[in-house]
A = this chain, B = another copy of it.
Amino acid sequence: MLSKLYKPAGRAELLATHQAIIPFIHRTPVLTCQSIDDLLGAQYFFKCENFQKIGAFKMRGGASAALRLSESERAKGLATHSSGNHAQAVASSARAMGVPAYIVMPVDAPKVKVAAVRGYGAEITFCPNTPEDRQAELDKVVDRTEAAFIHPFDDYGVIAGQATAAMELIEQVDVKLDAIMCPVGGGGLLAGTALASHYFSPQTRVIAGEPEQVDDAYRSFHSGQVERNIDNRTVADGLRTTLSNRTLGIIREHVDDIWLVSEAEIVEAMRIIWERMKIIIEPSCAVPLAAAFKHKEALSGQRIGIILTGGNVDVNKLPF
């Protein structure tokens, strides 16, 4: 059994986390693409978490957090509020572990996402789409069921789970990576990636991509405190959240840089991955490649790993 974490996972804890979640995740493939390498004049390795169970890396963090509960805690079920991939990760983890899941979703959540969560057998409660309403509804659910709340990113157990994507990438690529890139929203994946690099490939820099429209992580990274977004309109709908003190602490310590990209750059990078790699990724997932295009010269001739975070997109509502 994994232990509860009150500080960022160390090397041994990360290895134990990976071992523990193996039954709940896919070891996703790392793909390369000659034509993208030619466009960028560098060598890219894409860790395909769009092929992960539930279609996104979030499965790793969900399973990692759920496995840190005691058996009696877990038996009461897992709860969260989310309209996105984290909801599916929690619902799917609960089903795999044979315990109930309680998911609070906004009334206007996309039908396809509601159906996916329901498909994993979760009980769904709908609420108005404001942070306050979500939290209030979740509190009611937790009061009633005594289920354990699994936060999408503000949790060292979740962060340790997300770290395993970069750990696998480092293992799967038989060259030394000069940098690993991923997107940043709440910072769970970025913090985990930074820990993985720190312990398992310390010469590898970690660089995040973030939409200009929601540049809170960029500003937080430079100011040292959690900054908010005034607006959150971006095509990269998975990256609208702000950091927490936990994720910011790890990011400030171990991340090398955060690069901003425009909406048009995100959509163009998404199209390039669709057309050149023939794989389906969601807009949030294209952000690091967009950043790589923008900083082509800085990365020229290098070996870069990119974590492709997810592929859950409504194919009837594409941004191009």
- Interface residues, chain A, with chain B CB atoms under 8 Å away: 29, 31, 50-51, 55, 271, 274-275, 277-281, 311, 315-316, 318, 320
Contact between B311 and A320 (Cβ–Cβ < 8 Å)?
no
CB proximity of A97 to chain B, nearest CB, Å: 17
User: What would 21 A/B residue contacts be, using CB atoms closer than 8 Å?
Assistant: A29-B29, A31-B51, A50-B278, A51-B277, A51-B278, A55-B278, A271-B315, A274-B280, A274-B315, A275-B315, A278-B279, A278-B280, A278-B281, A278-B311, A279-B279, A279-B280, A280-B280, A315-B318, A315-B320, A316-B320, A318-B318
Q: How many copies does the complex hold?
A: 2
CB proximity of A53 to chain B, nearest CB, Å: 8
In the complex, what residues of B have CB within 8 A of residue A278's CB? 50-51, 55, 279-281, 311
- Most chain B Cβ neighbours within 10 Å, of A29, A50, A278, A316: A278
In the complex, what residues of B have CB within 8 A of residue A50's CB? 278
Chain B residue with Cβ nearest A280: B278
Q: How far is the CA of A320 from the CA of B278 in the complex (A)?
A: 17
Q: How far is the CA of A280 from the CA of B275 in the complex (A)?
A: 8
In the complex, what residues of B have CB within 8 A of residue A51's CB? 31, 277-278
Chain B residue with Cβ nearest A318: B315
In the complex, what residues of B have CB within 8 A of residue A55's CB? 278
In the complex, what residues of B have CB within 8 A of residue A271's CB? 315
CB proximity of A302 to chain B, nearest CB, Å: 23
In the complex, what residues of B have CB within 8 A of residue A274's CB? 280, 315
Q: How far is the CA of A315 from the CA of B280 in the complex (A)?
A: 11
CB proximity of A32 to chain B, nearest CB, Å: 10
Chain B residue with Cβ nearest A275: B315
Known: A55-B278, A318-B318. 5 other contacts (CB 8 A): A29-B29, A275-B315, A278-B280, A278-B311, A279-B279
CB proximity of A171 to chain B, nearest CB, Å: 18
In the complex, what residues of B have CB within 8 A of residue A315's CB? 271, 274-275, 318, 320
Chain B residue with Cβ nearest A33: B51
In the complex, what residues of B have CB within 8 A of residue A311's CB? 278
CB proximity of A266 to chain B, nearest CB, Å: 15
CB proximity of A54 to chain B, nearest CB, Å: 10
